[in-house]
Homo-oligomer: A and B are copies of this chain.
């Protein structure tokens, strides 16, 4: 015959039932002070009987710690963010933390709003994929208010906060190098390449060439283009700007159209490097509709490894990002901060690996 308490029991009621003070009951229930075994038993029994459930709000109010981490992702619906989120959630759960999520859709205004909500909810820390690597007053302010931040995927310029990223530039350089080694000379790249304030593609290429650009605060797709350029430079291959497909938006359709344009070029590229999963999808769509054979007529390497890439025929050679590991790392960095670490900002760069499947062939002699 279970009690049918419709209201929740508080520590005070448990204490009364057990015949001790609220302070004592609090100590045993919260596990933070002395209590004799006898009293412990009595309090626990009372708590059990009343169906006591601690109120973490009240605890948080007084301790100043909510054991909650706020996450600002771009779009949890995407495999990219959802995998990262999973990593964060796993580590958080193991440590008894909750995870509060928000989507920015890569819009600064949304990010602002999200950060504000999370801060008002008194999260202990913020894990953010910042959507602007320059304008970040809100993040600095959060930091100043004592709320630690861990960035992932990209890094705000000069923000003194931990970060987890991936070695985009190097992975891209190596992927391109492997295509070059396979004899390809006309290699196209299909990439998002939104938001770069300092000019057009030509000037970006020029600045990479003259080594007058710092890649750390670039958005991933730009870093991947950076590696693309470097690989060409290293091999002494001149860059044909027509082969750089700047999608300029993050949608399947835009990617498809840009891919179509690249593949219809007079001197069609013999290889294509797609700088992210969505770009790969758009490219495949275009390639299919054009009836091009992979890898005979076109070699393909994609950034991001999505499930379907391994059972497509042929399977697609891809750069795989350790997404859940990225989330786990971010969460660990955060938990480390929360347990008091005062070390200077740490930047973890995860390595990427190229999974060779069947979408790359040697270029035919021209």
Question: By the criterion CB–CB under 8 Å, are A93 and B103 in contact?
Answer: yes
In the complex, which of the residues A82, A90, A144 has the most CB atoms of chain B within 10 Å of its own CB atom?
A82
CA distance A117 to B95 in the complex (A): 12
Instruction: Please indicate the chain B residues that have their CB under 8 angstroms from the CB of A53 in the complex.
Output: 116, 119-120, 145
**A6-B145, A76-B76, A100-B99 given; A122·B89 CB < 8 A:** no
Known contacts A101-B101, A145-B6, A306-B308: does B93 contact A86 (CB below 8 Å)? Answer: no
Chain B CB within 10 A, most for which of A101, A146, A285: A101
Query: Which residues of the other chain, B, contact A308 by a CB distance below 8 angstroms?
Result: 281, 284, 306-308, 312
- Tell me the bound Cα distance from A66 to B60 in angstroms: 13
Residues A56 and B121 in contact, CB atoms below 8 Å apart: yes
A4: chain B residues at CB < 8 Å are: 144
Please name 9 pairs of A and B residues whose Cβ atoms are closer than 8 Å in the assembled complex, sorted by A. Answer: A53-B116, A56-B120, A79-B79, A85-B101, A281-B311, A284-B308, A285-B310, A288-B313, A306-B308
Whole-angstrom distance between the Cβ of A12 and the nearest chain B Cβ: 14
> Quick check: is A58 within 8 A (CB to CB) of the other chain?
yes
Q: Across the two chains, which residue of chain B brings its CB closest to A119?
A: B53
Assess whether B98 is in contact with A117, with CB atoms less than 8 Å apart: yes
Residue of B nearest to A86 (CB): B77
Residue contact B77 to A324, C-beta cutoff 8 Å: yes
Chain B residue contacts of A54, Cβ below 8 A: 120
Report the bound CA distance from A96 to B116 in whole Å: 11
Query: How many Å from the CB of A196 to the closest CB on chain B?
Result: 27
- Give the bracket for the number of chain A residues in contact with chain B: 35 or more
Q: Does A109 contact B (CB under 8 A)?
A: no
Residues of the B chain whose Cβ atoms lie less than 8 Å from the Cβ of A61: 55, 57-58, 61
Tell me if A270 counts as interface (CB < 8 A to partner B). no
In the complex, what residues of B have CB within 8 A of residue A117's CB? 96, 98
Take A61-B57, A121-B68 as given contacts and tell me if A98 and B100 are in contact as well, using a CB distance cutoff of 8 Å.
yes
Check A252 for interface membership: any CB of B closer than 8 A.
yes
Complexed CA–CA distance, A258 and B5 (Å): 49
6 closest Cβ contacts across the A-B interface? A308-B308, A82-B82, A285-B311, A77-B86, A56-B120, A57-B61
CA–CA, A181 to B124, complex, Å? 59
A83 within 8 A of B: yes
What would 4 more interface pairs be, CB under 8 Å, given A76-B76, A77-B79, A90-B103?
A55-B61, A61-B61, A98-B100, A99-B101
In the bound complex, residues from chain B placing their C-beta under 8 Å from that of A313 are 288
In the complex, chain B residues whose CB is within 8 Å of the CB of A100:
68, 98-101
Task: Tell me the complex Cα distance, A5–B146, Å.
Answer: 10
Within 8 A of B (CB), among A75-119: 75-79, 82-83, 85-86, 89-90, 93, 96, 98-103, 116-119
Q: Which of A308-360 contact B (CB under 8 A)?
A: 308, 310-313, 324
Decide yes or no whether A49 CB sits under 8 A from chain B. Answer: no
A56 to B6, CA, bound (A): 25
A8 part of interface (Cβ distance < 8 Å): yes
Q: Is the CB of A82 within 8 A of B93?
A: no
